[in-house]
Amino acid sequence: MSDLLYSETEDDLRAAVRSLLADRADARTVLGRIETPDPYPPGLWEALAGGIGAAGLLVPEKLGGQGAGHREAAVVLEELGRAVTPAPYLTSAVVATATLLALGAETGPVAELLGALAGGERVAVLAVPFSTAPDGRPAGTAPAGPDGPADPAEPVPAVADAVAADVLLVPRADGLYAVDAADAVLTPRSSLDLTRPLALVDAGGAGGTRLADAAAAGEAVRSGLLAGAGLLASEQLGLAEWCLEETVRHTRERHQFNRPVGSFQALKHRMAQLWLELVGARAVARAAADALATGAADAALTVAVAQAYCSKVAVRAAEECVQLHGGIGMTWEHPAHLALKRAKSDAIALGSAGRHQDAVAALVDLPAPA
């Protein structure tokens, strides 16, 4: 049976990341940058990726990484979710890195790029819509026609963190390419979650370096998206935990009729119910991270279960946080709206809850009701 408890090493990592975020990316800093073209706090990525070494957790030591695994990366994402941090960790250190790792290269351009990502020297983003589920086919990966490979990829909408990337991993009909972001055309798009910018990516005019053929690229992209979906559950868990903790703190301090508002039974029940849902979310999120770390045969099923459950819990926790904060929860100055927007955005990222529920049904051979 898998051990879903946090290890001492993971707790140390959590403390280091939380301390860094409190210093470099507290709520005031994030709120002050979300309406600027560059929402990423200056110096944060260098400290998080290079200083702590968080970007290389999934990368083996022989390729320049930390040689840790998905469980440790999940802890980092829990903390990033708690603070709704603008940082390309999920997109670069998880999705793009897992995609490259799945190619199995130990030398050449793939290994070199992995080393640069692990050291925090470069940021890579997989150029697929952020809503792409692990079992979905990314844009630009249509099978080649009878006359050979299809034209270079069409512009890809809603690519998360593309504006922060140095390298774009572009799936095309004949394989996976690494394209310098400077050679592509990036058009920022409006996004609900201002802490995770979206952009239209047009890499059709850029050549790039071919990393894999079509068959290997398809499997690698699916592996990257599966890792992303599984660890996104940890980000959602961290966000939900912050929402509940902040709500309990506020309702203890806020008084009405000479009593803390949190002492009213109706509110107690709402927060207690949310705590129960959080316990379940923690279990499935940790199970998904463990299944990815161990390469479990049922990893796809575990990830789908985690996403189907954690998406809803995160949204409900954020909605309750806004509601139970009363008027202050509706203001731009309070970070509750950041959590709500991130939770809503995450709910359709890497596959919606409904999409993952369908995946669960298919994986356990459960037919839909007639």
Residue 87 in this model has a pLDDT that exceeds 60: yes
Helix (H, G, I), strand (E, B) or coil at 176: strand
As beta bridge partners, residue 156 has: 201
What Cα–Cα distance (Å) separates residue 190 from each residue in 158, 168, 187, 198, 335?
A: 9, 20, 10, 7, 20
The proportion of the chain whose per-residue pLDDT surpasses 90, expressed as a percent, equals 89
Flag the least confident range among 35-49, 137-151, 221-235, 330-344: 137-151
Residue 368 in this model has a pLDDT that exceeds 90: no
Residue 149 in this model has a pLDDT that exceeds 50: no
Q: What is the mean pLDDT of the chain?
A: 94
The proportion of the chain whose per-residue pLDDT surpasses 70, expressed as a percent, equals 95
State pLDDT tens for residues 214-268.
999 999 999 999 999 999 999 999 999 999 999 999 999 999 999 999 999 999 9
pLDDT of residue 211: 97
Residue 359 in this model has a pLDDT that exceeds 50: yes
Torsion of CA 322, 350, 284, 10, to 10 degrees: -90
Query: Averaged over 165-186, what is the pLDDT?
Result: 96
β-strand 185-189 against 198-202: which pairing, if any? antiparallel
pLDDT of residue 152: 53
pLDDT band at 1 (very low <50, low <70, confident <90, very high): low
pLDDT of residue 285: 98
State pLDDT tens for residues 176-189.
999 999 999 999 99
Query: Averaged over 46-56, what is the pLDDT?
Result: 96
Burial class for 291, CB neighbours closer than 10 Å (0-12, 13-18, 19+): buried
pLDDT of residue 153: 59
Q: Determine the Cα–Cα distance for residues 172 and 343; give it in Å rounded to an integer.
A: 31
Task: Break the chain into its structural domains and give their ranges.
Answer: 226-364
CB 90 within 8 A of CB 118: no
Flag the least confident range among 94-103, 135-144, 145-154, 339-348: 145-154
Q: Determine the Cα–Cα distance for residues 140 and 172; give it in Å rounded to an integer.
A: 5
Residue 137 in this model has a pLDDT that exceeds 70: no
Q: How many CB atoms lie within 10 A of CB 268?
A: 13
Query: Averaged over 3-14, what is the pLDDT?
Result: 94
Q: Determine the Cα–Cα distance for residues 362 and 360; give it in Å rounded to an integer.
A: 5
Query: Averaged over 120-128, what is the pLDDT?
Result: 97
What Cα–Cα distance (Å) separates residue 252 from each residue in 78, 138, 247, 272, 336?
A: 25, 47, 9, 14, 17
Q: At the top level of CATH, which class does the domain 226-364 belong to?
A: mainly alpha
State pLDDT tens for residues 265-281.
999 999 999 999 999 99
Q: What's phi and psi for 82, nearest 5 deg?
A: -60, -40
Query: Averaged over 19-26, what is the pLDDT?
Result: 97
